[in-house]
Structure 1
Amino acid sequence: MKKTLLLLLGVSLSILSIAQTETNTKKDWSKIDISSRSADHFMIQYGIDSWQGAPDSVKTSGFSRHFNFYFMLDKPFKTNPHFSVGLGAGIGTSNMFFHNTKVDIKSMSSKLPFINQDSTDHFKKNKLTTIFLEVPVELRYYANPANPNKSWKAALGVKVGTLLKAYTKGKNLVNKNGASIYGPSYIVKEYDKRFIDGTMLAVTGRIGYGIISLDAGYQITSVLKDGVGPNMHKFSIGLTISGL
């Protein structure tokens, strides 16, 4: 999946480089009237998450996913409205699902236990959720700056976040034979942030047309704090819906 991000970032860089050359040689784009273009936008992202570098003992499974919501402010370059800087704030969530594995975030040990439960009672569905307050920053390009909702676009950026909440959620406790013990609606949640790295830094890229784009991101900082578990980095790929 890292190759997907590198490809996306490479294509975005190529588009930005070519676009800069073309707009500098063909037309004085600073005279385009974009006064009617809205500067404030919502950005919604949904897609797949994975942990790169996870050992075999960390058995993620299923459709691990993210949902992000940001309020963005777009500032076009005065000399070339093809380009702008997007700055915003919002909430980023990640839900990692596990196969017959208990992520014991309430443990008092020095390392976060990932406990295999193949031969014991376990939850049929088990996930770890993290919620971050995030600040995304993007360098954006629009082929048609006067009407970005009908334009090809590309963006490169970074996201910085601080951890608000982390919890595990287990649903439908079953025995080793798969029979439900308390019924399918039985749920247990446990909250604790001490094993999760409280600061998140990620690089991002996206390419699309109109309000929809393909996005990818790679978390540079580790998912867990140093010394409490494997050195893993979150990779995300999904779709973005945005005015720009």
Structure 2
Amino acid sequence: MLPDGIFGVAQDAPRGTASESIAVALRTAILQGTLSAGRPLPQSELATGFGVSIIPVREALKRLEAEGLVSFLPNRGATVAGMSDADIIEYSNIRAVLEEQAIRHAVPRMGRVDLARIEDAYEAFVEGSHGNDGMICSGQLNRDFHNAIYVPAARPRLLEMIDDLHRRLDRYIRSHLVIEGRKVDTDGEHFAILEACRHGDVEEAARLTRQHILHAAEISLQFQKK
């Protein structure tokens, strides 16, 4: 049986098609860990729970498959997709390369308004990512901080690819924040990137960004093995 709580999320989702609302509900449940990797997603049960036919359920699952959150397995149907350690490392390396490129384009183009938005996003992460509830929110707050940095790059397709990687990795990478002292370290790493942006230091901003991404991935993998 699927948890009843996932069905209520669709009622609070932005207005749109039934498949969009279902996708929002399932995506939220997966990213928050309510639906763990390997969990079956029976289409008939989802259709009954959401009060729709099978068609919008199938459309929502296909959308989530494209995002890497759902897999269709032979003789098992749809399940919540998982990642191996090798997957996490590979995706993190790709993310590091793309974000290093994005920040190299962004820093020379940053003005006062851009820096103010980055500072606001930094403060939002610091204040909003405490405790268990904060860890759930931390993925979005982290994306908001990094995206605020990359927006001046004016590379929409690059940012789209980066955002896709954030969504795929979020439930794995944010787990490291429960380690004692790691929240303080993460805030410090973010602040160092912010300072490099303030000083217009492209090379330092790129170096710190790559180091930050790969370090978070390494610590998260170590934490999950405990």
Query: Do both share a fold (TM > 0.5)?
Result: no
Structure with more helix by fraction:
2
Q: Which protein is richer in strand relative to its size?
A: 1
What TM bracket, shorter-length normalisation?
under 0.3
Whose radius of gyration is greater, 1 or 2? 1
